[in-house]
């Protein structure tokens, strides 16, 4: 089940979670240990952040032996993108009206 826009927004509101998500997007699949090395927080904290990102459908874990390898799921941003698209249409309409008004004022 896809996450809600609120779940995606709140999970990415935390700078550490955002950095973890961005790193997974950039570097691909990584272990908790690899993520912890550059996260600036403890391994348990990284695991908690990953759990929140996983609940928001932004990351997934794959067991490999005794380790779990995590990867980003950029498609998890879809609920947020869909929500933002509604506001893009709103602003596009407002700017079109403003442009029309400015043209009439120039005449």
Q: Which residues pair with 63 in a beta bridge?
A: 68
Using the predicted structure, report yes or no on whether residue 2 has a pLDDT greater than 80: no
Q: What tens digit of pLDDT does each residue of 57-90 get? A: 999 999 999 999 999 999 999 998 888 888 888 8
Looking at residue 1, its pLDDT comes to: 64
Q: Is the pTM of this model over 0.85?
A: no
Looking at residue 92, its pLDDT comes to: 87
Whole-Å CA distances, 10 to 64, 66, 67: 29, 30, 27
Return all residues near 31 (Cβ < 8 A) that are at least 6 apart: 67, 68, 69, 70
Answer for the pair 105, 30: CB distance below 8 angstroms, yes or no: no
């Amino acid at each position: 089940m896809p996450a809600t826009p609120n779940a995606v927004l709140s999970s990415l509101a935390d700078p550490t979670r955002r950095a973890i998500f961005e790193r997974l997007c950039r570097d691909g699949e990584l272990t908790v240990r690899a993520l912890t090395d550059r996260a600036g927080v403890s391994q348990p904290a990284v695991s908690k952040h990953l759990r929140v990102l996983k609940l928001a459908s932004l990351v997934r874990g794959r067991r490999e032996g005794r380790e779990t390898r995590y990867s980003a799921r950029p498609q998890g941003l879809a609920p947020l993108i869909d929500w933002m698209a509604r506001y893009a249409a709103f602003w596009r309409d407002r700017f079109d009206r403003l442009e029309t008004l400015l043209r009439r004022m120039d005449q």
